[in-house]
Amino acid sequence: MKSKLKQRIGAVATGVALLGVIVSPVIASAASQSASTTINADVASVISISTGTTVNIALTPTPGGVVSSASDIVSVSTNNTPGYTLNIADSDATTTLTSGSNTFTAASGTKVAPIALTNGTWGFAVATATTGIGTNGFDASYSAETNAGSSTSKWAGIPASGSPMLLKSTTGTATSDTTTVWYAARASTSQANGTYTDTVTYTATTK
C-alpha cells in the first residue's frame, strides 16, 4: 500500500515538474546594431562691394599748374575664411579723362614706382599703410589737396581693363572692410575748361 502511494506521489511530482517546464516563458536574447549619419551644412562663399560712385576733383589752374585730389571709399564684405583680393582697372582700354576732344592722360607712374603728376595728367594712389598690396612706392599717407602748386605726392596711372592692379589682399572674413583710394589731376591754364570723365572698376574676389 505504501509502495503504491509513493508511486502516485512520485508521478504527481513528475507531472508538476513537467508542467513547470511547459508553462515557463522562453526569454530570447535581443539583437542590436547601430549606424551613424554625418550631417554637412555647406555654406557657400559670398562677397559684396560698394563704392562712393563719384569722385569730384575741382581745379582752378595757374600757368605753372596745380594739383587737386579727392578720395573714394571701397567697402567689401565677405564670409570667405581665406579672405579676398581687391583689384582696380579702367573700365575699358582707354585710360584718359575726357571732355569732348580734350583729355587728361594717365600718369606714367606705377604702383612700384609712382610719380608726381605733370600738367595734363591724372593718377590714383593708396597709402602704403593699406595691407597686402605687395611692393609699392606710394606715400605713407594721403590727404585732400586743393590747387596745390607745389605738390609732390606720388601717383600711378590707372591700368587698362585687361591689366588690373592689386590694391589689397586680406586673410580672413570681412564686414564692411574699407580701402581708401585717392585720385588726382594736375592742370595748367593751357588745359581747356570742362568736366573730364572716365570710369574705373574695382573687383573684389574671394581667395
User: Nearest-CA neighbor of 127 among 173, 55, 163, 178?
Assistant: 178
- Sheet bearing 97-99, strands edge to edge: 47-50, 66-78, 174-187, 121-125, 102-106, 97-99
Cβ 112 vs Cβ 136: under 8 Å:
yes
Distance between first and last Cα of the chain:
107
pLDDT in tens, the chain (207 residues): 445 544 554 544 444 444 444 455 667 789 999 999 999 999 999 999 999 999 999 999 999 999 999 999 999 999 999 999 999 999 999 999 999 999 999 999 999 999 999 999 999 999 987 666 767 899 989 999 999 999 999 999 999 999 999 999 999 999 999 999 999 999 999 999 999 999 999 999 999
